[in-house]
Amino acid sequence: MDKKSIRGMILILLAGILWGCMGLFVRPLDSKGLSSLDLVAVRSLLTAVFMGIFILIKSKKLFKIKLRDLWCFLGTGILSIVFFNICYFYEITITSLSVAAILLYTSPAFVMVISAVLFKEKLTIRKIIALIILFTGLIFVTGVLGGGSDLTTAAIFIGLGAGLGYALYSIFGRYCLERGYDTYTISFYTFLFASVATIPFSHIGKIAEVSFSSVPSFGFTILFVLVTTLIPYLVYTAGLKHVENSRAAIIASIEPVVATLNGILWFGEKITLPVFIGIVLVLTGIVISNKKNS
């Protein structure tokens, strides 16, 4: 494995770790009355603003995109970010969090199949084995085996929709990169379109009241955007330059493991033997997917 591939793998792993910290911010903000859609709106808007300011300072040329490539950014912003969040947040209202998480992390399978068709990525035995081990680990981590959850047809399709939407960022992000766009440009337009699509349906007054009522609240909101959105999407997109979509999706699946560990460390959630086995399996799947010549 060359240095660029290792660097790409580390960047994607970092993105997954940061996404796994989402609960550290979402729980306090949710307790203050912000809905899931409000959180998506504020994340998207502030990320677009930060990226816009950065591009103004760095190089205004990064704002330039070709009209014929607009569909790529609509794909990352609306078909991925917005569609994924709408499906996922609705899913968690009609089924358990563990089941929602399992259906969401069907995304590596979607990425693997779509990338094989669109980008001619090899669908190797090693990748398939890694995916199976990973998915088994996620089942253990989220505790679905002992949950006794009853899945409706609607819940299954909406959950799979979340997994597909989550996967589409890698797909459309690859198209953006192949057209020569910088990661900053991709992130800016992704969240610009996502904010335009979500702000009209969010509670602007409540967002302002909770997020900007005091200096500590404002600082917490900024940190929330930096840690869970701006930095991870930048490093994930940068990592896609050197790592195949299918492999990247598997690596990023470290997210639920990190989320589980954060629950144990910060919210007093208990670790059980199945959870421990699941963490080991997920890590094993990630390692196998990154073996040389996979």
- pLDDT one-digit tens code per residue, 23-50: 888 888 888 988 888 988 999 999 999 9
CA-closest candidate to residue 112, choices 284, 280, 294, 238: 294
Which pLDDT score, from 0 to 100, does residue 292 have?
60
Cβ atoms 98, 147 nearer than 8 A: yes
**Region 229-246 average pLDDT:** 94
Asked if residue 39 belongs to a domain, the reply is yes
Asked if residue 221 belongs to a domain, the reply is yes
d(CA 3, CA 87): 37
Asked if residue 285 belongs to a domain, the reply is no
* Phi, then psi, of 217 in degrees rounded to 5: -65, -40
Note down the domain range covering 169.
Answer: 3-122+149-243
Percent of all residues in the chain with a pLDDT value above 90, rounded to a whole number: 55
Asked if residue 210 belongs to a domain, the reply is yes
Asked if residue 105 belongs to a domain, the reply is yes
CA-closest candidate to residue 237, choices 175, 158, 282: 175
Which pLDDT score, from 0 to 100, does residue 193 have?
97
Count other Cβ atoms within 10 Å, centred on residue 226: 15
Number of domains the chain is built from: 1
Buried b (16+ CB within 10 A) or exposed e, 110-143: bbbebbbeeeebeeeeebeebbebbbbbbbbbbb
Asked if residue 287 belongs to a domain, the reply is no
Asked if residue 187 belongs to a domain, the reply is yes
Task: Give the global pTM.
Answer: 0.87
Q: Report DSSP state, residue 214.
A: S
Which pLDDT score, from 0 to 100, does residue 267 have?
80
Asked if residue 159 belongs to a domain, the reply is yes
Cβ atoms 282, 253 nearer than 8 A: yes
DSSP of 97-144, one letter per residue? Answer: HHHHHHHHTTHHHHHHHHHHHHS-----HHHHHHHHHHHHHHHHHHTG
**Higher-confidence residue: 96 or 26?**
26
